[in-house]
Every structure is written in C-alpha cells, then in structure tokens.
Amino acid sequence: MSATIKTALIIPCYNEAERLPTTIFSDFIEANPTVFVLFVNDGSKDNTIEVLDALVESHHNARSLDLSKNGGKSEAVRQGVLWIQRNLKPDYFAYWDADLATPLDDVLAFTESMQERPTLDVAIGARLQLLGRHISRKLYRHIYGRIFATATYLVTHIPVYDTQCGAKMFRANSRNYKAFANPFVSRWIFDVEILVILRKLYAADGLRFKDHVYEFPLHRWKDVAGSKVGVSDAIRAFFQLLQIFWRYERHGDSTLLADVTTWKKRLQQGIQVEGTTRTSRDSSEASAHSSEGSNVDADGAAVGAADKQGMSVPQSNTSVSHHEL
C-alpha cells in the first residue's frame, strides 16, 4: 500500500451475504486510501466469506478475516483489533455495523474529531434525535435503549447516553489495545464492558476516564431490516450486564449488592443462557473442507482471499478450513 493508513475500520459480519451493501463499501474504500477496512467473517453459515473475498480482492486497503466458528460480535471485533495491532500502525481503529445504520462518511468525521482533540482517546456514536439531524429508530428500540442505558448507569456509574450504537473509534495506543487483549464476558453488550475496562485502565494511570471520551452526536442513523438482535438477545443483555458487574465491579463501592445471594443466582442463570447461544461449526463439515486449509494467526482467525494483495502477514503453522460453507 502506498498511502499511509490513518484509520483502520473493522466490520464484523455474520450471514451478511444477501444484505451487505458491497457497492457502498467498494466506493468508500476506493475513495479513501488512508482508511483500511477489515471485514471479519464471524463463522457465517452462508457464503459471506465469498462475498467478502470478492469485495476486497481489487482493493489494497481492504482485507477479509475468516473466523472458523461463530463467536459473536464481541469476539469478531476483538479478533479484528488484534489483527490490526499485529499488522498495521494506524493512528485510530474503529468498528462499524455491517448494515451501515451509521453511514461510512462518519468514519471521516470521527477521525477529524479525534485529530482536533489530542487528549481524546475514544469517540462513541450517540443516536440523539436533535433538530437538523436524521435519526430513524423504531419506538420500541428507543424505549428499550433508554431503559438499558439507565440500568447500565446504575450498575457501572458510567454516564454514557448510548452505549450500544455500533459506531466507535479509538486512538491506537497501548491502553486502548489492552482493553481488547482478553475475551469479553459479554457476547453482545461488550461495548459496556470495554468502557468499564478502560475506566479501570485510566484510573490505574491516575487519569479521569470522562476527560478522554467523547460522545459524537450522529447526523444520520437508521434502523436496517434484518437485525441479528432479537427479543431474547435484549433480555439476555440484562443478565450479561450482571456478569460485567460481577467480574469488574463487585469489589468496588456499590449500593446494588444488597442481596449478594440473589445477584449471584441471577448471574448464574445469565451464564447458562449465554452458553446455549454459542454455536460452532459441525466438525464433520470442517473435515470435509480441510483440504482447503489456510494459514491462521495465533488466535485461530484465517486470513481471507485478500492475502493475495501486497501486504505481508505473519504466518503460523496452525491451519484451519478457509471456506466452511
């Protein structure tokens, strides 16, 4: 790649073959050579990886990363961050929803905000219905979002308006990379977990978290049909919030532990529910395609067909099936 990469953008994908806006992505990648786009296939059951490989093969600033099994959005994003940390040296890294509910142009706006504020380390998209802005959100999702945001504040005491917007950017420094070093407790509300981890990292450095985080009011956002998050996931999110509390906050000052026994019982129920949703590829299916094996990194993520591009990638001796369809 001839252009210096300023921003690395992660797009987690699960069964997106039929609805991925490939033309929009292709045009954006072509027009913005300083933005590197990493598509992470999260163990899709359809032909998402083939769509991604076809999309990136003509672009030097894009690549597909193929995970052999579905680990949820949190793990797909985390693997993307780890890959970027090993292979690129951007100024910023971000993750965006594949359906582009938040337009890609905001990647540039987020980057500009980070550049203008040298002390800013994290930019979080906020879906605020303000005059002059176009936020199209279903009423029930808005109501649920406000309830969840309130619950999140009560548990974590982090005053963020919109933790679940799928558009976030981070300055590429050691502290932010450290927040993605280990697997998350939560499969879906890992956004909250990231903020909790970062607050602790800032405190350890003697810094105030709120001085380095900015909520970016989005100009446009719209609900896109085909969302992977259903009612059961929304309910499960509250149990996962308790898991986050139990892992990171239980030893801190809190008035919420009035009845430890009750909380622990609810936490255990939440873990059981989450465990049932974690599916992996059928082992026989993997065996059938083992002859198509490709090199993978140390975290088990296979690099997609864009490896044919000009960038070199560290290789390991481990191999998995590249296309498990």
Widest distance between CA atoms in the chain: 59
Q: What is the CATH number of the domain that holds 219?
A: 3.90.550.10
Min mean pLDDT across 105-119, 156-170, 198-212, 272-286 is at 272-286
Round the average pLDDT of the chain to a whole number and report it: 76
In a domain, 292, yes or no: no
In a domain, 254, yes or no: no
CA dist 92 and 76 (Å) reads 18
Of residues 296 and 277, more confidently modeled = 296
- Predicted confidence at residue 273, as pLDDT, reads 34
In a domain, 98, yes or no: yes
In a domain, 123, yes or no: yes
In a domain, 193, yes or no: yes
CA dist 322 and 137 (Å) reads 37
Is residue 95 predicted with pLDDT exceeding 70? yes
Domain that holds residue 98: 7-136+158-223+303-312
- The first and second tokens of residue 241, run together, are 């919030």
User: Which of 21, 10, 43 minimizes the C-alpha distance to 323?
Assistant: 43
pLDDT tens-digit series, residues 174-231: 999 999 999 998 877 899 899 999 999 999 999 988 899 988 888 776 766 655 555 5
In a domain, 30, yes or no: yes
In a domain, 38, yes or no: yes
State if pTM tops 0.75: no
- The first and second tokens of residue 318, run together, are 């481990």
- Predicted confidence at residue 140, as pLDDT, reads 65
Is residue 325 predicted with pLDDT exceeding 80? no
- The first and second tokens of residue 96, run together, are 């965006």
| Top-confidence range, 2-16, 18-32, 142-156, 290-304 | 18-32
In a domain, 248, yes or no: no
Query: Cα torsion for 13, 19, 22, 25, to the nearest 10°?
Result: -60
Is residue 251 predicted with pLDDT exceeding 60? no
Structurally, the chain folds into a number of domains equal to 1
Sequence-distant (≥ 6) Cβ neighbours of residue 216 within 8 angstroms: 106, 109, 110, 113, 123, 124, 125, 126, 167
